[in-house]
Structure 1
Amino acid sequence: MIVIGNFVHCPSLGSLEILKNYLLVTDDSGLITHFEDSRSEASLRLRGNVGPEDDILEIDDGSFFLPTFCDLHLHAPQFLYQGNGLHLPLMKWLNEYAFKAEEKMDADPVLARRVYTRLVSRLIQAGTGSVLLFGTIREETNLILAEVLQSAGIRGFVGKLSMDISSRPSYIEASTEASLGNAKSFVEKVQKSVSHLEPHRRLVEPVLTPRFVPTCTNELLNGLGELAQEKSLMIQSHLAEAHDQVKWVREERGEEDFEIFRKNSLLTTRTVQAHCTFLDVPSLSQLHVCGTSIAHCPLSNAYFSTEPFRLREALDQGVKVGLGTDIAGGYSIDIMNAMRQAVIVSRMRDGQRKDRDRPGSRSLAIDWKEFLYLATMGGAVALGLHPKSGMFQVGAPFDAQLIKLIDSGSKSGVGVLDFMDLNDARDIAEDMVEKWWCIGDDRNRISMWIQGIKIGVVSDQN
Structure 2
Amino acid sequence: MYFRGTFVQCPNLGELEILDDWLIAIDNSGFITHFEPAQSSRSIDVRRRHQPIILPPGTFFLPPFNDLHLHAPQFLYQGNGLDLPLLEWLDKYAFKAEEELDRNPTLARMVYRRLGQRLVKAGTGAVCLFGTLKGETNLILAEEMQSVGIRAFVGKVSMDISSRLTYVEPSSSVAIDAAREFGEKLDQNNSHSRALKLVHPVITPRFVPTCSDELLQGLGGLSDEKGWRIQSHMAESSDQVEWVKKERGEDDIPIFEKHNLLTPRTIQAHCTYLSPSSNSLSQQPSSKDPFIHLQNLGTAIAHCPLSNIYFSASRAFCLREALEAHVKVGLGTDIAGGYSLDIMSAMRTAVAVSRIREGERMERVRQGSQSIDANRSGKPLAVDWKESLFLATLGGAQALGIESGIFKVGAPFDAQQIQLFDPSKKLGVGALDFFEMEMENTQNINEFRGCLTTEMVEKWWCNGDERNRDAMYIQGIKLEGS
Q: Percent identity?
A: 59
**Corresponding residue number in structure 2 for 1:268:** 263
1:96-115 deviation digits (Å, cap 9, x = unpaired) = 00000000000000000000
2:43 and 2:104 mapped to 1: Cα distance? 54
Given the alignment, which residue of 445, 449, 454 partners 2:478?
454
Q: SS of the counterpart of 1:416?
A: coil
Q: CA deviation at 1:280?
A: 1.9
**Corresponding residue number in structure 1 for 2:379:** 362
Q: SS of the counterpart of 1:308?
A: coil
**Corresponding residue number in structure 1 for 2:396:** 379
Q: SS of the counterpart of 2:156?
A: strand
Equivalence map 1:88-99=2 (5 Å): 88-99=84-95
Equivalence map 1:12-411=2 (5 Å): 12-50=12-50, 56-195=52-191, 197-281=192-276, 282-305=289-312, 306-353=314-361, 354-355=364-365, 361-386=378-403, 389-411=404-426
State the TM-score, normalizing by the size of structure 1: 0.95
1:417-446 deviation digits (Å, cap 9, x = unpaired) = 145445595510100000000001100000
Q: CA deviation at 1:457?
A: 2.9
Q: CA deviation at 1:373?
A: 0.3
Change (3 A) 1:263 1:359: closer
1:10-57 deviation digits (Å, cap 9, x = unpaired) = 000000000001110011111111111111111111111126xxxx42
Aligned amino acid, residue 357 of structure 2? R
**Corresponding residue number in structure 2 for 1:10:** 10
Structure 2 gaps, min length 5: 277-288, 443-447
2:427 and 2:106 mapped to 1: Cα distance? 43
Q: CA deviation at 1:381?
A: 0.2
Q: CA deviation at 1:396?
A: 1.1
Equivalence map 1:414-429=2 (5 Å): 414-418=429-433, 420=435, 421=437, 423=440, 426=449, 427-429=451-453
Aligned amino acid, residue 371 of structure 1? S
Structure 1 gaps, min length 5: none
Q: CA deviation at 1:451?
A: 0.6
Q: CA deviation at 1:318?
A: 1.0
1:298-345 deviation digits (Å, cap 9, x = unpaired) = 000000012100000001111000000000000000000000000000
Q: CA deviation at 1:408?
A: 3.2
2:405 and 2:27 mapped to 1: Cα distance? 18
2:110 and 2:423 mapped to 1: Cα distance? 37
Instruction: Count matched residues.
Output: 451
Q: What value does the CA root-mean-square deviation take over the aligned residues?
A: 1.4
Aligned amino acid, residue 429 of structure 2? V
Aligned amino acid, residue 8 of structure 1? V
Q: CA deviation at 1:250?
A: 0.8
**Corresponding residue number in structure 1 for 2:465:** 441
State the TM-score, normalizing by the size of structure 2: 0.91
1:257 and 1:359 mapped to 2: Cα distance? 31
2:20 and 2:388 mapped to 1: Cα distance? 22
Q: SS of the counterpart of 1:16?
A: strand
4+ residue segments displaced more than 6 Å: none
